[in-house]
Amino acid sequence: MEWSIQQIARSAGTTSRTLRHYDELGVVPPSRIGSNGYRYYDEHALVRLQRVLLLRELGLALPQIADVLTNEYDEASALTTHLSLLRQEQDRLARQIAAVEHTITALRGGEELMAETMFDGFDHTQYKDEVERRWGKDAYARSDAWWRGMSDEERRNWRTRVEQLGRDWIAAAEAAEVTADSPEAQELARRHIDWLRSVPGTPAAEPGGDLNAYVRGLAEMYVADERFAANYGGVEGASFVRDALHAYIETSEPAAER
């Protein structure tokens, strides 16, 4: 039995564009391509897509997923491992729900709040390993110290700045007349890089850091990792951000920084 790319996109809650992106990366190739150029998927391809979506939910980037799929051949065993990890995540979410319920009960009843109960199930360092792997332990330590040193108001202002930048990127990506190399997109790219430069510990903020490589790597990650792509309206929006950042780096940054 086979399904068209549109049918699979609807069933999986994704888009045809994302499935084509998975195909380009060799992560989920279609079982065949028809004479009309349409992609079709059989049961084996559906199982593979399910594994990819599960791994994405567990926080793996597409290059890591490709490695996992290349080195694993027993799909039933692999899915058993996924099921175990999903149950761990289910337990973590259940503890978060219980923690929030406890806080609501305490607030309504005038009871004393218990910190050890309020934060059960929360992980405030979920990207620690990823940052350390990509840019080193010092990068994480300095960025973490900078964030913890902010006042509540400074954190709110920071989040507002980031959220506004994300909204502006999405609006630009959805505007038919705005291209990645247009003045509007290039101004957004400038703001984006200014934002990156403001975070201590990153190559963008360090004197002599390889800004070009850092921005290019981040831009590719925005597209490859749906956790980040979601900030820009999905893979299509993230692709627009990537192309705009690449264009900005090539035309606006001093050669010494490239």
Residue bearing the bigger pLDDT, 246 or 78: 246
Mean pLDDT score across all residues of the chain: 77
pLDDT for 114 equals: 55
Name the CATH topology of 3-63.
Multidrug-efflux Transporter Regulator; Chain: A; Domain 2 (1.10.1660)
Residue type, 151: S
pTM over 0.85: no
Least confident among 70-79, 227-236, 244-253: 70-79
Q: Which two tokens stand for residue 21?
A: 């992106």
Split at pLDDT 50, 70, 90, the class of 256 is very low
Least confident among 9-18, 162-171, 248-257: 248-257
Split at pLDDT 50, 70, 90, the class of 241 is very high
Asked whether 197 and 205 are in contact (CB, 8 A), the reply is yes
pLDDT for 185 equals: 95
Sequence-separated (6 or more) residues with CB below 8 Å from residue 22: 28, 49, 52, 62
Summarize the confidence of residues 205-230 as an average pLDDT: 77
Q: What percent of the chain has pLDDT above 70?
A: 69
Tokens 């923690």 identify what position?
99
Q: Which two tokens stand for residue 227?
A: 């956790």
Tokens 């990650």 identify what position?
221
Summarize the confidence of residues 184-192 as an average pLDDT: 95
Question: What does the pLDDT look like over 44-103, one tens digit per residue?
Answer: 899 889 888 877 766 667 777 887 777 665 667 666 766 766 676 676 677 767 777 777
Question: What does the pLDDT look like over 137-181, one tens digit per residue?
Answer: 555 566 667 667 778 788 788 878 888 888 899 999 988 789 999
pLDDT for 150 equals: 74
Summarize the confidence of residues 108-131 as an average pLDDT: 54
Among candidate residues 121, 86, 127, the one with its CA nearest the CA of residue 102:
121
